[in-house]
Amino acid sequence: MTSNVMREITPLTPSDCFTIFSRVKKKFDFPLHYHDEYELNLILNAKGAKRVVGGHIEVIEDLELALIGPNLYHAWFTNQCQSESITEITIQFHKDLFDDKLLKRNQLSFLKSMLERSQRGIVFPPETIVALKDRLLALANKSGFDSVLELLSILHDLSVSRNMKTLSDPSFTNEKFNYNSRRIEKVFEHMNTNYNKQVTLAEVARIANMPEASFSRFIKKRTGKTFIDSLNEIRLGHASRMLIDSTTTVAEIAYKCGFNNISNFNRIFKRKKLCIPKEFRETYTGNRIFI
């Protein structure tokens, strides 16, 4: 595959805990990127700009706070943003800032969960941003141990906040499916391996060792989605990745991802992504910004 996405080497050195950038600008003008570090991004006064995280695209409001996990594609586009005074605070920190053994401690369980979810990208609700934005803006003025303690405190407060939203599909990021049910996980592993083939309800019900009707109720209760919606989400995740990383035609991608009808593929894609596959690809190949 030919990737359209640039890998960034951040200025964060091995001896740093984190780095912070604070700036005011009129537009977004950097290309789509990914990097090894976690990134916490506060953007103010950019209503109408477009956020791209993994396979997820969304127009943002004036208050934006996102946590991006390592090696996850992300970008912000000027789009329809009219503001000439966009404020950005970008914090980057190493993957090993929090050791695995440390994250297993009871007091850090919420932080561990948030960092795991950030592998798909997270955005926080307006009430959380209002509560924390002044501390994030002031963090650039702190130094030494005080700045590290404040960052840890901010991350903790984010981790216990309500209504954070996960963005990209698990299949886009090759994330392991985890629904606290081995039956469901086996089914999702099967669908993720065979997304390019015909997968039937009878087939996955046999894998779960359940009658079809019982399995339909079971998967809806566990995941909040029907079997066919879950399968389509997996297929769309793979399709999104192909649209970005290859020059394969939309029709070929549709068939390679298990859709036997291009019109059906376009319709399902638009319902989920709010744009057709051609527009999605153009979003990734136009003017983009990494934060």
Q: What's the pLDDT score for residue 287? A: 40
Q: What's the pLDDT score for residue 6? A: 72
Angle between helices 144-159 and 109-117 (to 10 degrees): 80
For residue 101, pLDDT beyond 90? no
Q: What's the pLDDT score for residue 1? A: 37
Q: What's the pLDDT score for residue 41? A: 96
Say which residues have a Cβ less than 8 Å from residue 277's Cβ, sequence separation at least 6.
239, 243, 250, 253, 254, 265, 266, 269
Return d(Cα 84, Cα 220) in angstroms, integer.
Answer: 46
Average pLDDT score over residue span 112-122 = 93
Average pLDDT score over residue span 26-50 = 90
pLDDT tens sequence across 2-37: 456 777 777 787 788 998 988 899 988 766 888 989
Residue written as token pair 């392991």: 176
Q: What's the pLDDT score for residue 172? A: 76
| pTM listed for this prediction | 0.71
List, edge to edge, every strand of the sheet that includes 6-7: 6-7, 33-34, 74-77, 50-53, 56-59
For residue 153, pLDDT beyond 60? yes
DSSP 8-class letter at 172: T
Average pLDDT, the chain: 88
For residue 258, pLDDT beyond 90? yes
Listed in order, the ranges of the chain carrying CATH 2.60.120.280 are 6-166
State the architecture of 6-166 in CATH terms. Answer: Sandwich (2.60)
Residue 107 phi, psi dihedral angles, 5° rounding: -70, -15
Return d(Cα 89, Cα 144) in angstroms, integer.
Answer: 18
Pairwise pLDDT comparison (24 vs 176), residue with the higher score: 24
Per DSSP, the residues of 34-60 read E-SSEEEEEEES-TT-EEEETTEEEE-
Q: What's the pLDDT score for residue 289? A: 38
Q: What number does CATH give the domain 182-285?
A: 1.10.10.60
Place 88 in a pLDDT band, splitting at 50, 70 and 90: very high
pLDDT tens sequence across 71-86: 999 989 898 999 999 9
Q: What's the pLDDT score for residue 63? A: 96
Listed in order, the ranges of the chain carrying CATH 1.10.10.60 are 182-285
Task: Give percent of the chain above pLDDT 90.
Answer: 56
Average pLDDT score over residue span 40-45 = 97
Tokens for 275? 């744009």
